[in-house]
Amino acid sequence: MTLKDLHIDTSWTLFLDRDGVINRKLDNDYVKHWIEFEFLDGVHGALKTLRDKFNTIVIVTNQQCIGKGIIRVEDLEIIHKNMLYEINYMGGRIDKVYFSPYLTSDNHPTRKPSIGMALQAQKEFDAIDFSKSIIVGDSMSDMEFGRTAGMKTVYISDTPRQDPKIDFHVKSLLEFTQQLD
């Protein structure tokens, strides 16, 4: 099966992880300031194309740097405000950003792989049907999040990985977009 076989139309929802999908993931660190946020190659073009393919596009991101006291919620909100401004300016669209500020050890229901952020999105956007949703992420917690919620899963990595939680493998958000056409 290929991504084209899903017959995606504007009734579908796209869930995106942030770090490693939208922006460059920092090695052993967190994006703490807007100046450290670097869009990955092709993301703007991909989001511009995806805006017309999906009914709803949301970001779901674990941000335990808040729980660790490294940054404040207000700092993260500034990063997201600037990210959304640039995405919109470049012709893309993100309908909402959901984040979980909790530590892994908190085992909070909003922290991926738990599906709390998906349930928050579904509560806010009535049209979200998880059977017509895709999660694009670069970690196995993203894949488990999608599988638990009943979504299709797309794993971003330079190296293919065999795992039953992964439906599709791509190297970037741009490649995902190209495979939809």
28: tokens are 């052993």
Domains and CATH numbers, the chain: 3-180 (3.40.50.1000)
Query: How many angstroms separate the CA atoms of 26 and 139, rounded?
Result: 14
Query: How many angstroms separate the CA atoms of 140 and 72, rounded?
Result: 26
> How many C-alpha atoms does 94 have within 13 Å on its Cβ side?
25
Judge whether 139 and 20 are in contact, CB under 8 Å: yes
Task: Please return the burial class of 30, using the count of CB atoms within 10 Å of its CB with bins 0-12, 13-18 and 19+.
Answer: middle
User: One digit per residue, pLDDT tens: the chain, 181 residues?
Assistant: 899 999 999 999 999 999 999 999 999 999 999 999 999 999 999 999 999 999 999 999 999 999 999 999 999 999 999 999 999 999 999 999 999 999 999 999 999 999 999 999 999 999 999 999 999 999 999 999 999 999 999 999 999 899 999 999 999 999 999 999 8
Helix (H, G, I), strand (E, B) or coil at 33: coil
State the catalytic residues: 17, 19
